[in-house]
Amino acid sequence: MKYLLTLLLLFPAAWLPAQSIYSKAFGQPGNPALIFIHGGPGSSAMAFELTTAQRLADSGFYVIAYDRRGEGRSAADSAQYNFTQTFADLENLYHQYHLQKATLLAMSFGGIVATRFAVQHPDQVQRLVLISALLNLQETYQTILRSSRAHYMATHDTARLHALDTVERLDPYSMAFRKACFRNASQNGYFATPQPTAQARALYRQLDSNATYQRISGTQNDRAINTFFETEHYTHINILPDLRRLTAAGMPLYALYGKDDGLYSPAQVAAVAKIAGKGHLQYLEHASHTLFIDRQDAFVPALVTWLQPHHQ
């Protein structure tokens, strides 16, 4: 009942026009700070907030979840959907919560946001943790297409094979190509694990029962998707060189990926593992893209181990 009351009080305030950026903190301010940066563009931190943030706070962290301007529960009227404004909003979050440094937990597209922020503001980033984070966008698209073609050939799905031929003739840096790749990924179940754990099933049921989450997650934010593409041309992005520069400069890098995540080949995961260093990456069984739900039993202990002050 106390949790439900908190939600009822919280969500109306988060939707007031005067409040541009939605955020919520969990835990004690004196504990090591973690900022969760959600995926997208056009997504939200709500799944993390409802399932995982408190677990990390109970493990000794000060956890901040927020929705980027114009995404999720944050107002869209002034959203420019570019990295300049995105980074300025993130800096304001540091000021709002009186943080000098924080560890960035970077999910999917949030990996691009967090990595580029760390390049520009290394003094504000304690550590970087990639969670199913996009690395080389073009390689991800090709991974999806290769897997999709193999699946359609195995199932003798000639209609989808012909449709895939059309996709492969598109400009690989175009929004049409990007959308077509992710449409195939969704159709083929690349974002979900076929064998979820009992804990994961319970957490997904919890999300399914939350009307606010269902409304937000069930609405595609085309303005965020399309405008971010127009301003930043993110289909060209490859953050692996940035990650190499950051680790060479001494920034600790950690990563978690799921073996059932169809966006990443084992070779992509191996590439980031090499950059992060020995013991800094977990490649999890029975986990796909939303691995903090799929394998929360491994996700939380990994962060507790990695983010101890003495760990490098």
* pLDDT at residue 8, as a whole number: 31
CATH number of 2-136+194-214+237-306: 3.40.50.1820
pLDDT digits (tens, 9 = 90+) for 105-155: 999 999 999 999 999 999 999 999 999 999 999 999 999 999 999 999 999
Q: Cα separation of 229 and 20, whole Å?
A: 22
The pLDDT tens digits for 130-142 are: 999 999 999 999 9
Task: Reduce the DSSP state of residue 209 to 3 states and report it.
Answer: coil
Pair of tokens at residue 111: 């990996």
The strands making up 33-37's β-sheet, listed across from edge to edge, are 23-26, 62-66, 33-37, 102-107, 125-131, 253-258, 281-284
Q: Is the peptide bond before 41 cis (omega within 30 degrees of 0)?
A: yes
- End-to-end CA separation in angstroms for the chain: 41
Q: Which two tokens stand for residue 34?
A: 């973690």
| Nearest Cα to Cα of residue 125 among 137, 112, 114 | 114
All residues at 6 or more sequence positions from 63 whose CB lies less than 8 Å from its CB, including other chains: 25, 26, 27, 33, 34, 36, 53, 54, 56, 57
Sequence spans of domains, the chain = 2-136+194-214+237-306
pLDDT at 111: 98
pLDDT of residue 69: 96
Per-residue pLDDT of the chain (312 residues; tens, 9 = 90+): 333 333 333 333 333 333 589 999 999 999 999 999 999 999 999 999 999 999 999 999 999 999 999 999 998 889 999 999 999 999 999 999 999 999 999 999 999 999 999 999 999 999 999 999 999 999 999 999 999 999 999 999 999 999 999 999 999 999 999 999 999 999 999 999 999 999 999 999 999 999 999 998 888 899 999 999 999 999 999 999 999 999 999 999 999 999 999 999 999 999 999 999 999 999 999 999 999 999 999 999 999 999 987 655
Q: Which DSSP letter does residue 15 get?
A: T
CB atoms within 10 A of CB 216: 18
At residue 125, φ and ψ (nearest 5 deg) are: -110, 115
* Alpha-carbon torsion, ordered 133, 135, 139, 140, to 10 deg: 10
